[in-house]
Amino acid sequence: MIDARLLPLTRALLARPARTLAARGVTADQVTLAGFAVGLLAVPALWAGAFGTALFLILANRLADGLDGAIAREVGPTDRGAFLDIALDFVFYALVPLGFALADPAANALPAAVLIASFVGTGSSFLAFAAIAAKTGRQAGAYPAKGIHYLGGLTEGAETIALFVAMCLWPAAFPALALVFAALCAITTLSRWSEGWRAFGPN
- Residue 110 sits in a domain whose CATH number is 1.20.120.1760
Contact 58, 105 (CB under 8 A): no
* Stated pTM of the model: 0.88
Instruction: List, for the chain, all residue ranges whose pLDDT scores fall below the cut of 70.
Output: 1-4, 139-151, 203
Q: How many domains does the chain have?
A: 1
Q: Which domain holds residue 38?
A: 3-199
Q: What is the per-residue pLDDT across 33-51, written as a single tens digit (0 to 9) for each?
A: 999 999 999 999 999 999 9
Q: What is the per-residue pLDDT across 49-88, written as a single tens digit (0 to 9) for each?
A: 999 999 999 999 999 999 998 999 889 889 899 899 999 9
CA nearest neighbour of 22 among 88, 67, 86: 67
Return the exposure string of 31-66: e unless at least 16 CB atoms fall within 10 Å of the residue's CB, then b: bbebbbebbbbbbebbbeebbebbbbbbbbbbbbbb
Tell me the H-state helices in 78-145.
79-103, 105-136
